[in-house]
Structure 1
Amino acid sequence: MAGQFEIFTDAESNVRFRLLAADGTVLAISTAFEDKRQAANGIMAVRECAGTGLIREARSNPWTGQRAGKTASPAPTHRRRHLPAV
């Protein structure tokens, strides 16, 4: 069984959706929407984007909890090693 989207109303009466894994585990919860139609549009956007979305690591400063800015020292560069096919 595939995962599914579930539209619900939160404690503040906002409409949201959550993405559930096949076993019912909550994988993601959306931002608040004004109505079900906007939530459904959000689901469609996630469906369209998720299949082609790239994975990116967001790094934050452990001391401030903020993302590293241009003033922070650059991350170390690593050379990619190309291993021969076996």
Structure 2
Amino acid sequence: MHGIQMQRGISYWEGRAPMAGAFEIVRESGNSFRFRLTGSDGSIVAVSPEFPNIKAVVAGINAVRENAATGFIVDRTSSPGHST
């Protein structure tokens, strides 16, 4: 069998190692779209803003894929005048 197989809630592609998450494109009200990034267990990790068309949502996915791998982690949980 080719394609994605589910075993104990973990996605596999053609019997290979567990898949990472997936980008799911969904249609919103009207003609707008958004994507959801899901973990290998199906949990929603991130939800995008709305995009006006498929081409724009795919560009958004590509931007996340390119920037996430090299992006810095910035801790904005503390602000001046507050101690942690």
Q: TM-score range by the shorter chain?
A: 0.5 to 0.7
1:3 and 2:14 are equivalent in the alignment: no
What residue number does 1:81 align with?
A: none
Q: CA deviation at 1:58?
A: 2.0
Could you say which residue in structure 2 is the equivalent of 1:25? Answer: 43
The percent identity for this pair of structures is 40
Q: Which residue in the other structure is 1:35 paired with?
A: 53
1:54 is matched with which residue?
72
Distance 1:25 1:40 in 2: 21
Q: Distance in 1 between matches of 2:31 and 2:73?
A: 32
Q: CA deviation at 1:12?
A: 5.5
Higher strand share: 2
1:46-85 counterparts in 2 under 5 A? Answer: 46-59=64-77, 68=79, 72-73=80-81
SS of corresponding position for 1:48: helix
Secondary structure of the structure 2 residue equivalent to 1:47: helix
* TM-score, length of structure 1 as denominator length: 0.65
In structure 1, what is the equivalent of residue 34 of structure 2? 16
Say which SS state the counterpart of residue 45 (structure 1) adopts. Answer: helix
> Any idea what SS the aligned residue of 2:63 has?
helix
TM-score by length of 2: 0.67
Report the Cα distance in structure 2 between the residues aligned to 1:12 and 1:2, rounded to whole angstroms: 31
Q: Which residues of structure 1 form unaligned runs of 5+?
A: 61-67, 77-86
Q: Which runs of 4+ in 1 moved over 4 A?
A: none
Q: Secondary structure at the match of 2:34?
A: strand
